[in-house]
Structure 1
Amino acid sequence: MSDNKQEKIFHEAPGRKVSLRDVRNIGIMAHIDAGKTTVSERILYYCGVNYKLGEVHEGTATMDWMEQEQERGITITSAATTCMWKNHRINLIDTPGHVDFTAEVERSLRVLDGAVAVFCSVGKVQPQTETVWRQAQKYHVPIIALVNKMDRTGADFYGAIEEMKFKLHANAVPIYLPIGKEADFAGCIDVVNNKAVYFDGDENGAKMRVEEVPAEYAEKREEAFRNLVECVAEVDEEVMELFLADEMPSVEVLVPAIRRATLAASIVPVCCASAFKKKGVQCVLDAVVDYLPSPVDIWDIHGSNPATGEPMSRHVGDMQPFAALVFKIMNDPFVGKLSFFRIYSGVAQRGMTVLNPRTGKRERLGRLLQMHANSREERDEIYSGDIAAAVGLKNVTTGDTICLEDDPIVLEAMSFPEPVISVAVEPKSSGDRDKLYKALGALSDEDPTFTMRSDEETGQTIISGMGELHLEIILDRLVREFKVECNTGAPQVAYREALEKPADADCKFVRQSGGRGQYGHVIMDITPMPAGHGITIENKVVGGRIPKEYIKPIENGIREAAAGGVMVGYPLIDFHVNILDGSYHPVDSSEMAFKIAGSMALKEAARKAGMMLLEPIMKVEVTSPDENMGDLIGDVTSRRGIIVEMNSSAQGGFTKILAHIPLSELFGYATAIRSLSRGRASYSMEPSHFERVPKSIQDKIMEKK
């Protein structure tokens, strides 16, 4: 990401009010309860969007607009808004911290240019922080870190930085230092400008005082400044030359150099704040403007040609051909289906016709809306680099590209984790059946990690999601938004099937019932592969024993049979198939016959290989008072859990346990942990990996099936 302006010539539309260089698309991301939504609320207040401060604990936060969010005090859906700070437009997305809603973070990070990662000064680096950090790295999103809750007892700014370095392998470099801590947290020291910044509480923190650095902090600031210069010098030639000459760079030289290092992910600038006490958020906004990228810094937008699949790219600018990525679908009770999109190039105009390369169909952009959480502002045009929503896109789903028909491109979509928990649902009355299916369809359009299917054996409708809370919210929305009452069965774990050893199969599918028959013959072998390998198929047929046009149907048959499972109906995963040989009939062979033969061959080979069940294992972090630790460890063990790590120094009188526990043993865990610790312990969990189910439990599952 070169900062050379000569290389990046782009043209802006005459109606644009804010230059593309002054746009920031950022997300607020963190572990649950680190203070993301409170930070977002303060940003909106100081930027003049809100005229009163919303509070999460009171259910008045603008960004937590869903009833379910206000009741639970957590963020469930990512909310988008726009504000101005020092003549820069900031498009802001507040993302959820709970692992059940990780898809919201995934799709938000895909369309954002930068992110603010919020850390609790007491909890420091928590499990979900690691997850969102990995997601940000996956999409090459530069990050600024904010150590929040500096007013809390046990706040440890420098400890949080050390954990970032150790657990996240981040080159975390403080650009602001705290003045005081816990109840005495008063403000921040600006390391770059050598100033102390104080916030007057009686003005809701909006009134800032900038003074000289207090004498007792002068040495700390000097040490932090040298550390900052050293870290930047490692990746920036201009600062390196000054550093080697034993000269300190000026602010005019250092700020652009910090920006370049941040964009290259060589450093992570760290700020500090107490968002709840209204101290330090303005410093974070300054850092966002100074160090996080504009769309111009991203510049090249990579994609592929929808006709040929060949890689292609274009760059940002209003005068480029229009291309945007739809990253979120939402059903709005007032305007219908809303499609949130990020424009990478060109300008979206009300009423324009666009192409969806996935479907090959044209769509019309009806109304264009600038979103502010769940309120909206009508716009005639949305410019390159902006995030907005459109009404009127009918056959568009999360991850679709919309572009010009005569200059098409497919932008890189996003990937989502597989659901790990399922429940059966049925309408309370037969008259609600159609309403239920329609509502579930609308919800699965919104959420890529929520799926629905019909169980062929029982005829039940099975819904699947990322956790108990995820499905609880879905069922709550069915009642409140869609007015559908339904009964639910007990939650079921999404197991997987896997092979014990290699095997082969020789299968013929022959049907003769007068006239033309069906004939397909496949010989193949199957090999179990390591976790995460997926399903791979290789064609090793020679001499035209099976015509090429029948190879794809065989592959389809294998994949369909694997999806339906062989042993008890759970998907078969992580194996490699070699299609070795077979035969065909010049008259009776067909694609359908070879598809069925491929399916039969997979099932036969799998049965010969021997099957085992795999269960999802969750990474669970429990923070508990020391006096309850024995009971909690005993409970983890009774749930077939394995303690991976214990840390008694996390907080005074508290201990952290990190354990791997099977998901099937975690239903109702929230109630159990409250009862064992008299409500004082807390926990969080996220999917870790799949592991073999013990034989005794596998036999019980087989009996039920």
Structure 2
Amino acid sequence: MPTLNLGILAHVDAGKTSLTERLLHSAGVIDEIGSVDAGSTRTDSLALERQRGITIKSAVVSFPVGDRTVNLIDTPGHPDFIAEVERVLGVLDGAVLVVSAVEGVQAQTRVLMRTLRRLRIPTLVFVNKIDRGGAQYGPLLERLAARLTPALVPMGEIGAAGTRDAHFLPFTARRLRTPLLDLLAGHDDALLSAYVEGRVSDERLRDCLARRTGQALVHPVYFGSAITGAGVAELMAGVEELLPAARGTADGPVAGTVFKVERGPAGEKIAYARMFSGTLRTRDRVAHGDGAEGRITGISVFEHGSAVRVPCVAAGRIAMLRGLGDIRIGDSFGQSPASGAEHHFAPPTLETVVVPRRPGDRAALHIALTQLAEQDPLITLRRDELRRETSVSLYGEVQKQVVQATLADEFGLDVTFRESTTICVERPVAGGTAVEFNGREPNPFLATVGLRVDPAPAGSGVRFRLGVELGSMPYAFFKAVEDTVRETLRQGVHGWQVTDCTVTMTHSGYSPRQSHAHQRFDKSMSSTGADFRGLTPLVLMSALRRAGSRVHEPMHRFSLEAPPDTLPAVLPVLARLRAVPESTGTHGATSVLRGRVPAASVHELESLLPGLTRGEGELEAAFDHYAPVTRGTVPTRPRTDHNPLDRKEYLLKVTRRAGG
């Protein structure tokens, strides 16, 4: 039976989880529709999700549609949990983007649609809540086309909008012909020619719509209500007819990607994986990640709303795998697409220190946070051994509350948080070099390391290259230098991660293995990897100091809509928050300001806006880029390493002596 792995995405409160419940009910998987408010939905299984009425973790549930099995993945809508959405995108065959007929296009809606179109994921749009007061049709379609994409095909209209009797009226083939031909002919020269000659049949037009939808060139739009069920049958028909089934051959080489990891009742890891090729069987050994290997002890697939144990899983399916103790989210096995490691959304820009209320819980807290980080690749931890503190990176304040509740419910840990701070980055200003030679004071290590640091284009990350012959010393020593370079650059001159640079190894040298006749290896005369790992931070930070390092703060691009008469109150606040308006315009009777604002100011702007605009202002803000800090004191972050910027302190910690 063909499989379709379908994602349900939306801005928070658009009705995404309610739509999932209605789809399961319509397919006969559940007898009674769960309620988000009552905490009885199938996919919101966490106690915290039921308490808050929002989706926090992605969940998989299946149902049949025609001759297909649909694996439906319900994803969070709140922007603080965008990491959950990111890891799901790489395993989807198609998506349904849910939009509220009342609130319309919101900030997260636009972020999601841009990403779906960039990744060429076939997407249907479902306009929900047509039974709610204030539900719109014509004006909403115009805003969808203006703010999402003009490549939209309304598949019908609304009757009795805004009432309990609201219903979806599908367009007839004749009614669809003109808008479909106008949109599709731009992507199909043969169709355009047939259109001009009057040779386009309804069947050909429908086939072309399915083909272009499958190529993510057009997006059919359905209207309905997850609460009353209006329009859901038509949406299910569209899923069956217009979205492509999973591809891949069961006879090919095994290939898959892990997009979710959770822990079972006994603390064992359970990996959710999408199979792209081949067949995986119980007791198979699989290599994954950076060379780790494990044996599959159990496989479950999703069928008719439940997880069912099976002996094997083939290409196209989603499976729960047991037995892979070292597995992490984003790990691939076999010849999986490399997209699993690619970030589609912005990085977290906030950081906070997690503080246990009971000092004796520090060790347990670090273990618990490490387990949470395993389930969230975009959430990183920083352990400060000197201060015995652990910092966690976040997307927003709601996520902080969820972390607090999760630590209490799952680990029995009562914690508080320090005030959130913005995460900056450092970039080198120019080129800088440094070298220390084996056997020359003040170098106490049996190693020669020379490094040059050069700036690289924004967004390029860190690149390590060799400017010496690869055969000039054992490969393990080169690997030790490269690994240490990447580790050291997590904390630059000002304590922030250094990025967008090229590090070139300009000098190398070592002391060959020495031993006396009939005696054991003499470490005091022979280089080891520890020598290169010890020396590299000193050389690298010296080169970075000479290059110069500039701190960059995260900047958001914003769009602010407000009544024109409130702008005199808004503009001074924007200036105080270091926001830079770049363009002004009008949208109906509303003024629109667009520009850039520091990420550190967004939360305050959101809190002040209602009072400045009589509650009528709307703000959209999303990470855009990093910009140099040019005003005020340069922000710094306390170091958590052995501080290679202070040679004496570093050598005392690493070698127990201050010099050679």
Range into which the TM-score falls when normalised by the shorter chain: 0.7 to 0.9
Aligned CA distance change for structure 1 residues 87 and 585 (closer, same or farther; 3 Å) = closer
Where does residue 206 of structure 1 map in the other structure?
none
For residues 13 and 498 of structure 2, what CA distance do their matches in structure 1 show?
A: 37
Q: Does 1:66 align with 2:46?
A: yes
Q: Match for 2:545 among 580, 586, 607?
A: 607
AA aligned to 1:284 is L
Q: Does 1:688 align with 2:624?
A: yes
Q: Do the aligned residues in 1 keep the contact of 2:130 with 2:166 (CA within 8 Å)?
A: no
Q: Do the aligned residues in 1 keep the contact of 2:161 with 2:167 (CA within 8 Å)?
A: no
- Structure 1 window deviating more from structure 2 (410-419 vs 448-457): it is 410-419
For residues 660 and 333 of structure 1, what CA distance do their matches in structure 2 show?
A: 47
Deviation at 1:110, TM superposition (A): 0.9
Where does residue 650 of structure 2 map in the other structure?
none
State how 1:570-649 maps to structure 2 within 5 Å: 570-581=496-507, 590-620=528-558, 631-644=569-582, 649=587
Deviation at 1:27, TM superposition (A): 0.7
Deviation at 1:645, TM superposition (A): 5.4
AA aligned to 2:483 is N
Where does residue 177 of structure 2 map in the other structure?
225
For residues 510 and 371 of structure 2, what CA distance do their matches in structure 1 show?
A: 44
Q: Does 1:33 align with 2:23?
A: no
Where does residue 399 of structure 1 map in the other structure?
330
State how 1:273-292 maps to structure 2 within 5 Å: 273-292=224-243
Where does residue 385 of structure 1 map in the other structure?
316
SS in 2 for 1:518: coil
Where does residue 522 of structure 2 map in the other structure?
none
Q: Match for 2:199 among 224, 244, 247?
A: 247
For residues 451 and 282 of structure 1, what CA distance do their matches in structure 2 show?
A: 42
Aligned CA distance change for structure 1 residues 615 and 390 (closer, same or farther; 3 Å) = same
* Pairwise CA RMSD: 3.7
Deviation at 1:91, TM superposition (A): 1.2
Q: Percent identity?
A: 27
For residues 120 and 697 of structure 1, what CA distance do their matches in structure 2 show?
A: 44
SS in 2 for 1:696: coil
Deviation at 1:257, TM superposition (A): 2.2
For residues 635 and 324 of structure 1, what CA distance do their matches in structure 2 show?
A: 50
Where does residue 97 of structure 1 map in the other structure?
77
Q: Match for 2:371 among 434, 442, 466?
A: 442
For residues 475 and 299 of structure 2, what CA distance do their matches in structure 1 show?
A: 48
For residues 326 and 532 of structure 2, what CA distance do their matches in structure 1 show?
A: 32
Q: Do the aligned residues in 2 keep the contact of 1:427 with 1:486 (CA within 8 Å)?
A: yes
- Structure 1 window deviating more from structure 2 (182-191 vs 264-273): it is 182-191
For residues 77 and 627 of structure 1, what CA distance do their matches in structure 2 show?
A: 42
SS in 2 for 1:32: coil
Where do 5+ consecutive residues of structure 1 fail to align? 1-18, 195-220, 300-314, 403-407
Aligned CA distance change for structure 1 residues 446 and 584 (closer, same or farther; 3 Å) = closer
Where does residue 33 of structure 2 map in the other structure?
53
Where does residue 219 of structure 2 map in the other structure?
268
SS in 1 for 2:316: coil
Deviation at 1:335, TM superposition (A): 7.7
For residues 606 and 433 of structure 2, what CA distance do their matches in structure 1 show?
A: 46
Q: Match for 1:520 among 443, 447, 465?
A: 447
Q: Do the aligned residues in 1 keep the contact of 2:256 with 2:335 (CA within 8 Å)?
A: no
Deviation at 1:399, TM superposition (A): 2.0
Deviation at 1:291, TM superposition (A): 0.5
Deviation at 1:86, TM superposition (A): 3.1
Q: Match for 1:462 among 363, 367, 391?
A: 391
Q: Do the aligned residues in 2 keep the contact of 1:330 with 1:337 (CA within 8 Å)?
A: yes
Structure 1, residues 525-554: CA drift from partner, whole Å, max 9, x if none? 332233212122333336987787654443
Where does residue 656 of structure 2 map in the other structure?
none
Deviation at 1:329, TM superposition (A): 0.7
For residues 402 and 440 of structure 2, what CA distance do their matches in structure 1 show?
A: 49
Aligned CA distance change for structure 1 residues 379 and 431 (closer, same or farther; 3 Å) = farther
SS in 2 for 1:344: strand
SS in 1 for 2:225: coil
Deviation at 1:683, TM superposition (A): 4.9
Where does residue 354 of structure 1 map in the other structure?
285
AA aligned to 2:283 is M
AA aligned to 1:637 is A
Aligned CA distance change for structure 1 residues 387 and 520 (closer, same or farther; 3 Å) = same
Q: Match for 2:298 among 366, 371, 394?
A: 366
Q: Match for 1:174 among 149, 154, 165?
A: 154
Q: Do the aligned residues in 2 keep the contact of 1:619 with 1:685 (CA within 8 Å)?
A: yes
Q: Do the aligned residues in 2 keep the contact of 1:478 with 1:485 (CA within 8 Å)?
A: yes
For residues 544 and 121 of structure 2, what CA distance do their matches in structure 1 show?
A: 42
Q: Match for 1:187 among 158, 167, 184?
A: 167
Where does residue 204 of structure 1 map in the other structure?
none
Q: Does 1:330 align with 2:262?
A: yes
Where does residue 661 of structure 1 map in the other structure?
597
State how 1:135-174 maps to structure 2 within 5 Å: 135-151=115-131, 155-169=135-149, 171-174=151-154
Q: Do the aligned residues in 1 keep the contact of 2:8 with 2:74 (CA within 8 Å)?
A: yes
Q: Does 1:476 align with 2:408?
A: no
Aligned CA distance change for structure 1 residues 437 and 341 (closer, same or farther; 3 Å) = same
For residues 331 and 43 of structure 1, what CA distance do their matches in structure 2 show?
A: 28
Q: Does 1:569 align with 2:500?
A: no
State how 1:521-536 maps to structure 2 within 5 Å: 521-536=448-463
Q: Match for 1:541 among 468, 482, 491?
A: 468
Q: Does 1:558 align with 2:485?
A: yes
For residues 486 and 467 of structure 1, what CA distance do their matches in structure 2 show?
A: 17
Deviation at 1:628, TM superposition (A): 5.9
Q: Structure 1 length as normaliser, TM-score?
A: 0.78
Where does residue 516 of structure 2 map in the other structure?
none
Aligned CA distance change for structure 1 residues 332 and 109 (closer, same or farther; 3 Å) = same
Where does residue 294 of structure 1 map in the other structure?
245
Where do 5+ consecutive residues of structure 2 fail to align? 513-524, 644-660
Aligned CA distance change for structure 1 residues 560 and 383 (closer, same or farther; 3 Å) = closer
Structure 1, residues 419-442: CA drift from partner, whole Å, max 9, x if none? 322221233335434432332222
Q: Do the aligned residues in 1 keep the contact of 2:294 with 2:323 (CA within 8 Å)?
A: no
Aligned CA distance change for structure 1 residues 399 and 95 (closer, same or farther; 3 Å) = same
Q: Does 1:432 align with 2:361?
A: yes
AA aligned to 2:412 is K
Q: Structure 2 length as normaliser, TM-score?
A: 0.83
Q: Do the aligned residues in 2 keep the contact of 1:509 with 1:597 (CA within 8 Å)?
A: no
For residues 303 and 574 of structure 2, what CA distance do their matches in structure 1 show?
A: 44
AA aligned to 2:460 is H
Where does residue 500 of structure 1 map in the other structure?
429
Q: Do the aligned residues in 2 keep the contact of 1:80 with 1:372 (CA within 8 Å)?
A: no
For residues 118 and 461 of structure 1, what CA distance do their matches in structure 2 show?
A: 38
Deviation at 1:574, TM superposition (A): 1.1
AA aligned to 1:560 is E
Deviation at 1:454, TM superposition (A): 0.9
Deviation at 1:45, TM superposition (A): 2.2
Structure 1, residues 92-136: CA drift from partner, whole Å, max 9, x if none? 111122222112111111111011122334554433223223433
Deviation at 1:642, TM superposition (A): 2.6
Deviation at 1:82, TM superposition (A): 0.8
AA aligned to 1:400 is D
For residues 25 and 329 of structure 1, what CA distance do their matches in structure 2 show?
A: 18
For residues 683 and 59 of structure 1, what CA distance do their matches in structure 2 show?
A: 30
For residues 628 and 535 of structure 1, what CA distance do their matches in structure 2 show?
A: 45
Deviation at 1:376, TM superposition (A): 4.6
Q: Do the aligned residues in 1 keep the contact of 2:424 with 2:551 (CA within 8 Å)?
A: yes
For residues 435 and 26 of structure 1, what CA distance do their matches in structure 2 show?
A: 38
AA aligned to 2:543 is A
Structure 1, residues 11-52: CA drift from partner, whole Å, max 9, x if none? xxxxxxxx22xx321111123333322322221222222333
Where does residue 655 of structure 2 map in the other structure?
none
